[in-house]
Amino acid sequence: MHPLTVVRQKVLQASWEHCWHCLATPAIVAEWFADTDLIAPGHRVVFDFGDGDFFAGRVTDCEPPSALRLTWRFWDIGPSYDIAYVLSPLGRATEVSVIDRGSDGPDEVGSLREGWEDFLTRLQTRAETGEPCRYRWSESLGGTCFAEDVPELRARLADAGWWQRCFPGGRVTLGGDTRSYRLQFSEPGWGGVVTAAHVRFEGHLGRACLRASHGGWTALPHDTQVGIRRRYAGLWRDLLVSIETEFGLRDRPQYAVDVTS
Over residues 195-212, mean pLDDT: 95
Q: Are 150 and 202 in contact (CB under 8 A)?
A: no
> The CATH number of 141-247 is which of 1.10.490.10, 3.55.30.10, 3.20.20.10, 3.30.530.20?
3.30.530.20
Compute the residue count for the chain: 261
pLDDT attached to residue 259: 30
pLDDT at position 158 over 60? yes
Spell out the long-range contacts of 60-65 with Cβ–Cβ below 8 A and sequence spacing 24 or more.
62/24, 64/20, 64/24, 65/16, 65/17, 65/19, 65/20, 65/21
List, for residues 87-146, the tens digit of each pLDDT value: 999 999 999 999 999 999 999 999 999 999 999 999 999 999 999 999 999 999 999 999
CATH 3.30.530.20 residue ranges for the chain? 4-129, 141-247
The C-alpha atoms of residue 244 and residue 209 are separated, in whole angstroms, by: 9
- End-to-end CA distance of the chain: give it in Å, rounded: 11
Domain 4-129, CATH class in plain words: alpha beta
pLDDT of 228: 97
pTM of the predicted structure, to 2 decimals? 0.92
CA distance 215 to 183: 11
Per-residue model confidence (pLDDT) at position 176 = 76
DSSP 35: B
pLDDT in tens, 208-260: 999 999 999 999 999 999 999 999 999 999 999 999 999 986 544 343 333 33
60-74, pLDDT tens digit by residue?
999 999 999 999 999
Predicted confidence (pLDDT) per residue in 22-70, tens digit: 999 999 999 999 999 999 999 999 999 999 999 999 999 999 999 999 9
pLDDT for res 250: 52
